[in-house]
Amino acid sequence: MSDVGVWISQPACNIKVAAKADVVVVGGGPAGFSAAISAARNGVKVILLERYNYLGGLASGGMVLLLDDMWDNHLQEISVRGVMLTVIERMAAMGLATYPRADEWGSDPASLRRWTRWGAFDFHTHSKPHPICFAAAFDPDAWRRVALDMVQEHRIQLRLHSWFSSTLVEDGKVKGVICNTKEGTEAILGDVVIDATGDLDVAVSAEAPYIGGRYMLTTVFRLGGVDTDEAERFEREEPEAFAQMDKEIKQILGGSWGLWWLKTPLPGVVWCNCPHMLGLDGVNVEDLTTAEIKGRKHIYATLDYVRGKLPGFERCFVVDVAPQTGVRQTRLLEGEYVLTKEDLAERTRFADSIARGRDYYMPYRVLVPKVIENLLVAGRHFSATSQAQKMSREIPPCMAMGEAAGTAAALSLDAGVLVRNVDTSTLQRTLRTQGADPGDQTSRNADIPALAMARRFLETHEKSN
């Protein structure tokens, strides 16, 4: 008789309180990092918990090395600012991020030729070629370095290697979380907790309502030793041969976007946001294991093919496979408001808007769970329908949500109110003061950030090439 599926009871045990803060952020990915920075910036003590040995989540660990979905093509402006732009600026100053300048946005042939293989184009337009827009390609370790620097600058108590286990709830209010660590089980207490786990782990443990979701999984990888100039020449000058070969490569990969490789700031290193695998659940251990095994088979079969046939890739090699599986959708919060596909398509404006994405807006209520108090949710697991989440889950809007959540947590503590009762007009004004764009204004922003350090990087980069 099999014991699989049988429940085993364990005796209750005493758990050490390892730390306490005003705000506890669970998850050091883009949303959680942004939440921690914004909360600390507003004067509260913050603990940031992360299960891995680095910050950045899917940006660095999942190697999603393009920051897009932050360009409003209706208003022709950058729509996600604040912490997001600060991170881009700092990485660019290191020479490890690049993006098209304002005079290169649009469909000028020279801009298209220069920036398309960086992925810096608006792929949501119906016309082709897609116009160049504001988007940034970056190096994953640059993100880790910048994130650690900023966390230290804001005196945030960072606890890496801390795996969330359960949520502490008392009389309907979240009081903290339990983590598993190498030192054993630990309790981390906080007046406000922000769930930035990506999979809604904290809220689910607190019994907040949610729905299940599923999308493709991806084992992202990078190839080195690529002659990108030769690869682009082949694509441009031999379009028929390129199209046939590109079709065959995508069949080997089993699933990919239109451009299966893009440039990175490291010379000769390209980013491959593939292979995509359907029908797998991002919170199922067996499915996650399958993705890792299956993904590598696709990767090395592709490597063998391109080495033998694709110009520019004759001497390429696998640099690395992302340490985090590319999970796009799992559990989704059912919050005080559920964002819909229609809200996104119709550019619905909300009185309590606190974040923007590409050309859509998010109300504060999508961060607020029903029933459970002093818990906020920020990241790809926010309150939305499955279809709406697929259209609005990119890193920049998740960071905008995180910045709003962290600021709201600090404001709630300062005012002595529950986080669901934060005055959203005050929240909007505070976000704007910080350089973020909560989406509360109906007119176009008066300025486009200078990003002076990043521009100097671009000028140096152009001269060296």
Question: What are the residue boundaries of the structural domains of the chain, listed by start?
Answer: 16-61+143-214+330-433, 216-327
CA distance 172 to 192: 13
If one counts every other C-beta atom within 10 angstroms of the C-beta of residue 456, the result is 12
Q: How far is residue 83 from each of residues 138, 279, 345, 358, measured CA to CA in Å?
A: 16, 34, 26, 16
CA distance 337 to 424: 15
If one counts every other C-beta atom within 10 angstroms of the C-beta of residue 124, the result is 14
If one counts every other C-beta atom within 10 angstroms of the C-beta of residue 186, the result is 19
Report pLDDT for 464. 41
Cβ atoms of 332 and 208 closer than 8 Å:
no
- Joined together, the tokens standing for residue 21 give 């803060």
Q: Which residues contact 71 (CB under 8 A, 6 or more apart)?
A: 77, 78, 79, 122, 133, 134, 135, 358
Report pLDDT for 461. 41
Average pLDDT on 416-428 reads 98
Report pLDDT for 453. 40
CA distance 331 to 373: 19
- φ, ψ at 133 (rounded to 5°): -140, 180
Q: How far is residue 196 from each of residues 28, 57, 162, 316, 401, measured CA to CA in Å?
A: 7, 10, 14, 36, 10
Does residue 178 surpass a pLDDT of 50? yes
CA distance 26 to 45: 14
Average of per-residue pLDDT values in the chain: 93
Report pLDDT for 125. 86
Output the pTM of the full model. 0.94
Report pLDDT for 1. 52
Report pLDDT for 454. 40
CA distance 338 to 346: 15
Average pLDDT on 213-220 reads 94
> Facing residues of 103 across strands?
none
Least confident of 13-17, 135-139, 280-284: 13-17
DSSP for 157-225, please give it: EEE-S-EEEEEEEETTEEEEEEEEETTEEEEEEEEEEEE-SSS-HHHHHTT--EE-----EE--EEEES
β-pairing verdict for 184-195 and 77-78: unpaired
For 16-61+143-214+330-433, CATH gives: 3.50.50.60
3 state DSSP class of 244: helix
- Joined together, the tokens standing for residue 16 give 């050490």
Query: What does the pLDDT look like over 220-247, one tens digit per residue?
Result: 999 999 999 999 999 999 999 999 999 9
Query: What does the pLDDT look like over 93-141, one tens digit per residue?
Result: 999 999 999 999 999 999 999 999 999 999 888 888 999 999 999 999 9
